[in-house]
Amino acid sequence: MTERSLLRPFGPTIAKVSMGKDLVEKLNTYIDDTIKNTNKTKELNHGPKLAGNVQQEFKLEIDFIKSSGWLSFLSNEAKNWIEAASGKKITKFDLIETWVVRQFENDYNPLHVHGGHISGVGYLKVPSSYGKYSQDGKAENQNGKLSLVHGTRQFMSAATFNIEPKVGDFYFFPNYLMHTVYPFICTNEERRSISFNAYVDQDIYNVYGHSKK
């Protein structure tokens, strides 16, 4: 009998994990409370440093990041992801920043990359509908989806991986992986996501072995 298996030797590895109901509730409660405080949202405003054309983006406060278990979640899952993908164990997880993106009708995030070594995005709220295309019969409705982009489309090689946001899902990916978020229509509901950037061990991230000058 001929044995067959699927190999994935090329392209970056992406991890998909669950944030858990309790953590999602903690994050949403904190965010809802922060939104009510105009002075705090101005102080934490992160929009000018980000690529998104969205209604609101702000950073999380370090005390909450630690006390809520958010930092532990990110560091533990990053370690699991990197070890599963590379066989190497990181000893360092330095969070650079973590922030919330509040996207509403017609908002979008253009194609971009992140800083640091590793990044990720998870979903805290999603609309009940992203709206329909202007024309019927399109193969796939991309409204409101996250699209990860790597390389170019070729035979036996896709260049994009499209993700439909679902509450509780979180995705880890390398900082250099290009990605974009499409706008959506026909709803007054919020698409709420949370992201981060972090550094890990330099000797693990630096696969070329170049030393710093």
pLDDT of residue 5: 66
- Residue 200 placed within a domain: yes
Q: How far apart are CA 51 and CA 113, in angstroms?
A: 9
Q: 148: part of which helix (H) or strand (E)? A: strand 146-149
Domain count, the chain: 1
Q: How far apart are CA 208 and CA 95, in angstroms?
A: 23
Where residue 38 sits, what CATH number does that domain have?
2.60.120.620
pLDDT of residue 137: 78
Instruction: Report the residue count for the chain.
Output: 213
- Residue 213 placed within a domain: no
Provide the residue range defining the domain that includes 41: 15-205
Q: Which residues of the chain have pLDDT under 70?
A: 1-7, 210-213
Tens digits of per-residue pLDDT, 148-197? 999 999 998 889 999 999 999 999 999 999 999 999 997 789 999 999 99
> Rounded to two decimals, what is the model's pTM?
0.93
**Are 15 and 82 a contacting pair, CB within 8 Å?**
no
Q: How far apart are CA 191 and CA 52, in angstroms?
A: 13
pLDDT of residue 213: 47
- Residue 7 placed within a domain: no
Q: How far apart are CA 14 and CA 16, in angstroms?
A: 7
User: In the structure encoding, which two tokens stand for residue 6, read together?
Assistant: 């699927």
Q: How far apart are CA 60 and CA 95, in angstroms?
A: 12
Strand partners, 118: 174, 198
pLDDT of residue 199: 98
- Residue 5 placed within a domain: no
pLDDT of residue 139: 79
Q: Which phi and psi angles does 31 have, rounded to 5°?
A: -65, -45
24-58: b (≥16 Cβ within 10 Å) or e: bebbbebbeebeeeeeebeebebeeebbbebebbb
- Residue 210 placed within a domain: no
**Are 126 and 191 a contacting pair, CB within 8 Å?**
yes
pLDDT of residue 138: 78
CA torsion through residues 20, 21, 26, 31, sign: positive
Q: How far apart are CA 109 and CA 67, in angstroms?
A: 30
